[in-house]
Amino acid sequence: MIFNVSATDLINLLFIAGGIGVCGLCFLQIAGSNHLRKEIRRNFQIFFAFIILYISTHLAREIMNGMPGDGVRFALYAVTLAELLMAGLMAYQMSVLVLTVSIPGRRAKPLQLTYFLILCAHFVIIIAGRFFNVIFYFDASNVYHRGSLYLLSNLTPIAMLIIDMILLVKYRKNIDKMVKLAFWVYMIAPFLAAVVQIAFYGVQFIIFATVGAAVFMFSLIVKNQNETYEKQQKENSRIETELSMASSIQSDMLPNIYPAFPDRPEFDIYASMDPAKEVGGDFYDFFLVDDDHLCMIIADVSGKGVPAALFMMASKIILANNAMLGKSPAQIFNDTNAAICANNREEMFVTVWLGILELSTGKLTASNAGHEFPVIRESDGKFELLRDKHKAAIGAEESVKYDEYEFYMKPGSKLFLYTDGVPEATSAAKELFGTERMLEALNKNSSALPEQILKQVREDVDGFVKNEEQFDDLTMLCLEYRGNKQQI
């Protein structure tokens, strides 16, 4: 059988076959474009799938057009109907793409519903037109003809296109210039192609323009998304570098050289802090106020991350400055609370336990601002909670007045301080580590050195939570009082 193929038909077939190939390559490229936003990748995949189906059905109609036979006739009606339906779906998916980049969030839902209703109207027009032969029909020789109401097949896609143009103008500030250009090219190209097609009747410039504009639009948006991704990566790298520096600065602000006081045999002290994020809100501190008084602080700032770390540094400095003036624990808290409440717009607060140990006598004067109970071990006993009285956290109430209490540490006694990250460490079964497990860990080898005791507690916490993510800062401090110089 010899087909009489004109130059125009050959050009159309080349346009269509090339368009299918190009769109297929774009479809495959989308699947491998990891930098595209998830919803944009999905919408582009659907969009190019509709274009491929549209072109394929058009190609099938071009090939079968004019072939004799009832079977061919049925196939011609089927592929032409599918082609016109795909034109509506292409317009709908294009509109979804415009919505995705121009109106984020819930505000787009009413327009999505509008587009869907217009698409439904398109389906009704095309299907009804098929049965009444007013959109298209085939004559006795199976040759395609447009019906008297053929323009109705373009009515709903044009309506969606007009809405898209309005959105691009109204929300132009929300859309990158490159992306706007891509959308406008896709919308205008078919109209220009229709004008050109008047001069070259029969050549399917509209299909060529649709494919070319779609590929151009895709390439520009992918380029834009890649550039956005690279900027985000650079920004993330910058943030990671700054957080790493902040973590180092925060770590350097805490005492971290051990033995901390090698020339003071009266006591041994060790502390550690493991932030849940790069920087944390927990802190500890210890320093000699004078030759006979050791100040110890452990605290937990509300919140996490950089804000908590900044508040932590400010709180630490204010507490230490007040302590170095020789004030009592209660007075240190009163003055620190007044300073923080005077300018605390973010309404942050910090729980603190602070104690001052008189090294010559073992007398420890302490105050508790909403912090965890300290744990005490007598020289010949076990670690036990000291259920001291709490007042409000510093920064929580401006009018609060703090008080203090005293107890004596004998040679061999130990003090263990911690933040809530220890008892609230959580396992995969959502079970808390708790104070009972903490006391068990402390008493496994209660006579060990402070450093070894902290390592034992951390080992038990890690064994309990296993591979679960650490959600809270984990800070501990342990002091062993060995007595004054005459007792040693």
**Same domain as 276, residue 216:** no
Asked if residue 245 is part of any domain, the answer here is no
Pick from 378-387, 447-456, 464-473 the range whose average pLDDT is largest: 447-456
- Quote the mean pLDDT of the chain: 84
CATH value at residue 423: 3.60.40.10
Of the candidates 292, 364, 352, the residue with the CA atom closest to the CA atom of residue 328: 364
CATH value at residue 162: 1.20.1070.10
**Same domain as 348, residue 289:** yes
Verdict on whether the full-model pTM lies above 0.75: no
Instruction: For residue 199, name the pLDDT band (cuts at 50, 70, 90).
Output: low
**Same domain as 289, residue 158:** no
Cα(172)–Cα(40) distance, integer angstroms: 18
Q: What does the pLDDT average to over 350-375? A: 96
Task: Look at residue 294 and give its three-state secondary structure.
Answer: strand
pLDDT digits (tens, 9 = 90+) for 133-167: 898 889 889 888 888 888 888 888 888 888 888 88
**Same domain as 262, residue 188:** no
**Same domain as 260, residue 225:** no
Among residues 190, 205, 234, which one ends one of the domains? 234
**Same domain as 263, residue 224:** no
pLDDT digits (tens, 9 = 90+) for 453-476: 999 999 999 999 888 776 778 899
**Same domain as 275, residue 228:** no
Asked if residue 487 is part of any domain, the answer here is no
Split into its structural domains, the chain has a count of: 2
Asked if residue 429 is part of any domain, the answer here is yes
Asked if residue 309 is part of any domain, the answer here is yes
Q: 94 vs 33, which has greater pLDDT? A: 94
Task: Look at residue 407 and give its three-state secondary structure.
Answer: strand
**Same domain as 221, residue 265:** no
**Same domain as 229, residue 263:** no
Asked if residue 244 is part of any domain, the answer here is no
Of the candidates 436, 429, 439, 417, the residue with the CA atom closest to the CA atom of residue 466: 429
**Same domain as 279, residue 225:** no
pLDDT at 1: 39
Domain that holds residue 153: 7-234
State the Cα torsion 38-42-47-53 to the nearest 10°: 160
pLDDT at 246: 66
- Rounded (5°) CA angle 477-482-487: 165
Task: Look at residue 34 and give its three-state secondary structure.
Answer: coil
pLDDT at 207: 67
**Same domain as 90, residue 46:** yes
